[in-house]
């Protein structure tokens, strides 16, 4: 499939974000332009403070830019009010955080069920959705375990299943393997790869070159700006990408 023949699912143009800390102005993002197409698997890389989370929060409709435009499925969402953003977020986006954000008193099933409860979906239907999702992330045998009875990798997989509850077409993950050991990180990465093969558009922030290497494209940020876009599919670039990513890691 030639993805360029499709319309982008995400199209950002000259995006900027300025934070105000008391009277001090902090540039979160400056003049960022790129497109993401259906079925893409994008890694966002860059040193700490380079604007990765700022970008993810805007892409995930958790925040709005101070300048520029963001088109999500061709609809401009840059300047929507919070309640409109929340509707779009619930319909189109699954968000996975580094810190998992599961509710400790609820078991795996109940955590995944939560967005469906909010959406007013009846119980039978909720079970029809949650059980296959837990199976998809390999946790059918752990559905009655609470977070403190699960490993870090399992908790993150519950968080991914929860992010999928509303069947979003785009899954955003901000350093989803950042708190995990190598093996758990690999399990989580495998879940994202499977989701991508099943057609979801995946965007993940990572510091790990090996994780980025499994995506299709890398967007590299520095000082709030998009420094470089690299294709991982292109074998002539692959070695260079891995080397640069490793240098980037050392610079953090």
Residues binding ligand ADP (CB under 6 A): 19, 21, 26, 28, 46, 48-54
What does the alpha-carbon distance between residue 1 and residue 236 come to, in Å, rounded to a whole number? Answer: 21
43 binds Mg ion per the rule CB under 5 A: no
Q: Give me the helices (H) in the chain, please.
A: 52-59, 82-92, 108-118, 123-136, 152-163, 182-197, 209-213, 235-251
Near Mg ion by CB under 5 A, which window of 46-54, 139-147, 176-184, 239-247?
46-54
Q: What is the DSSP letter of 251?
A: H
Closest distance of CB 211 from ligand ADP, Å? 16
If the CB atoms of residues 197 and 247 are measured against ligand ADP, the closer one turns out to be 247
Closest distance of CB 160 from ligand ADP, Å? 20
If the CB atoms of residues 50 and 184 are measured against ligand ADP, the closer one turns out to be 50
Tell me which of 43, 50, 53, 57 binds Mg ion, using CB under 5 A.
Answer: 53
50 binds Mg ion per the rule CB under 5 A: no
Q: Is the distance from CB of 178 to CB of 211 less than 8 angstroms? A: no
Closest distance of CB 214 from Mg ion, Å? 20
What does 153 interact with, of ligand ADP, Mg ion, none (CB < 5 to 8 A by kind)?
Answer: none
DSSP character string of 6-62: SPPSEEEEEEEEEEEETTEEEEEEEEEEEEE-TT-EEEEE--TTSSHHHHHHHHTTS
Q: Is the distance from CB of 207 to CB of 252 less than 8 angstroms? A: yes
Q: Is the distance from CB of 113 to CB of 126 less than 8 angstroms? A: yes
What does 19 interact with, of Mg ion, ligand ADP, none (CB < 5 to 8 A by kind)?
Answer: ligand ADP
Near Mg ion by CB under 5 A, which window of 18-26, 44-52, 116-124, 143-151?
44-52
Closest to 54 in 3D by CA, of 32, 28, 80, 79: 28
Closest distance of CB 87 from ligand ADP, Å? 23
156 binds Mg ion per the rule CB under 5 A: no
Tokens representing 182 are 């190598």
Beta bridge partners of 229: 219
If the CB atoms of residues 175 and 230 are measured against ligand ADP, the closer one turns out to be 175
Q: How far is CA 227 from the centre of its chain?
A: 20
57 binds Mg ion per the rule CB under 5 A: no
Q: Which stretches of the chain bind Mg ion, using CB under 5 A? A: 52-53
């Amino acid at each position: 499939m030639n993805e360029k023949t499709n319309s982008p699912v995400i199209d950002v143009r000259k995006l900027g974000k300025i934070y105000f800390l008391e009277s001090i102005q902090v540039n979160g993002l400056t003049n960022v332009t790129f497109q993401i197409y259906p079925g893409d698997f994008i890694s966002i890389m860059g040193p700490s403070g380079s604007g990765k989370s700022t970008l993810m929060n805007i892409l995930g409709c958790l925040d709005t830019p101070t300048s520029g435009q963001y088109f999500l499925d061709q609809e401009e969402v840059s300047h929507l009010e919070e309640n409109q953003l929340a509707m779009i977020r619930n319909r189109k986006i699954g968000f996975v955080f580094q810190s998992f954000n599961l509710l400790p008193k609820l078991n795996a099933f109940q955590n995944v069920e939560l967005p469906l409860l909010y959406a007013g979906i009846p119980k039978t239907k909720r079970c029809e959705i949650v059980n296959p999702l837990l199976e998809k992330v390999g946790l059918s045998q752990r559905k009655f375990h609470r977070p403190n009875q699960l490993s870090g990798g399992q908790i993150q997989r519950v968080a991914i299943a929860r992010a999928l509850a509303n069947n979003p077409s785009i899954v955003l993950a901000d350093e989803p393997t950042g708190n995990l050991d190598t093996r758990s990180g690999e399990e989580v990465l495998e879940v994202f790869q499977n989701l991508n093969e099943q057609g979801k558009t995946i965007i993940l922030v990572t510091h790990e070159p090996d994780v980025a290497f499994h995506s299709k494209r890398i967007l590299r940020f520095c000082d709030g700006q998009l420094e470089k876009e690299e294709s991982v599919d292109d074998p002539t670039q692959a070695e260079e990408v891995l080397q640069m990513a490793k240098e980037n890691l050392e610079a953090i």
